[in-house]
Amino acid sequence: MPQKTLSIIKPDAVKKHVIGKILQKFEENGLKIIALKMVHLKKEDAKKFYMVHKDKPFYESLVEFMTSSPVVVQVLEGENAVEKNREIMGATDFKKAKEGTIRKEFATDIEKNAVHGSDSTQNAEIEIEFFFKKENIFSY
Ligand code: IDP
Ligand code: MG
């Protein structure tokens, strides 16, 4: 059963001009890009998106970071897409990320870690809906 997951190319990676290289990682690993857009998140959007982390010490900083430039948001589809994307991304802390992962290659520090990816199919559904209307998600 193919799954869908939400991915965000974060401001650090956008500013490093590696949008193309990151999208290529998804495609060459069998994750199809079925929706894609660039957005500059407002503070309220970022706060809402990361609400699960509201009590964490890094929450305010994360919101600042995520609103510091545009981001590129995509829906990825493929077999086991949620878990597969997490594998391609690598560990949250890039120092622990495996060779060949996006975070190993492009992260700057534990916060500026290049990409977001949904962590469960349930959250994927919520996060996809946060960013995309049904008619802007495609099948090909
Ligand atoms: P994830 O992005 O790998 O799912 P989460 O624990 O959900 O990791 O954290 C969300 C985001 O918050 C991370 O991707 C990273 O940008 C930031 N973050 C997580 N842990 C820390 C930390 O200890 N210090 C600073 N920022 C952090
Ligand atoms: Mg997370």
- CB-based neighbours (< 5 A) of ligand 2, an ion: 119
- Delimit the domains of the chain by residue range: 3-40+70-136
| Residue 19 exposed, middle or buried by CB count within 10 Å (0-12, 13-18, 19+) | middle
Q: Is 111 in the pocket of ligand 1 (CB under 6 A)?
A: yes
Q: Is 5 in the pocket of ligand 1 (CB under 6 A)?
A: no
Q: Give pLDDT tens digits for 75-134.
A: 999 999 999 999 999 999 999 999 999 999 999 999 999 999 999 999 999 999 999 999
CB-based contact 88:102 (threshold 8 Å): yes
Q: Which two tokens stand for residue 88?
A: 């391609």
**Is residue 1 over pLDDT 90?**
no
Alpha-carbon gap, residue 111 to 78, rounded angstroms: 27
CATH fold of the domain at 3-40+70-136: Alpha-Beta Plaits (3.30.70)
pLDDT at position 108, please?
95
Give the SS3 label for residue 137. Answer: coil
In this structure, the residue with its CA closest to atom 19 of ligand 1 is 111
| Residue 54 exposed, middle or buried by CB count within 10 Å (0-12, 13-18, 19+) | exposed
pTM of the predicted protein model: 0.98
